Structure 1
Amino acid sequence: MRLLYLLFLLLVCLIQTTPGNGKKMKNPECEKMGGVCKYQNTHGCIILPAECKSQKKHCCRA
């Protein structure tokens, strides 16, 4: 019975630590221009004037 209780607690802990709904934070300003926020070291994309939340990313359209 104790093992079942411990497994139940483990399951509850795992459910609470998973990110909410699996959705990523998106930048609507960049998406309106048809781009996606990507790291600055990406090549072969067109940089758009919209700003991303992170300083290490820029709005990019592939």
Structure 2
Amino acid sequence: MGVSRSTIKRWLNYLESKNALVRIPVAGKVCAYALDPHEVWKGYNTSKNYAAFVTKTLVKQRR
């Protein structure tokens, strides 16, 4: 991606502080990240209840 790990971490923290990103603990220090549905659907509030989000997340833990 051409950016350092600290840059990614800094932007993740920034987006989380703006409530645009939700951190989901998976195991130990491993986290998954998702866009905050309230922010994503802010302009489409009437359709939010009918939105379906299906995802599969695979996580490889460092040893």
TM-score (norm 2): 0.26
Larger relative contact order (CA 8 Å, sep ≥ 6): 1
What TM-score comes out, normalization by structure 1 length? 0.26
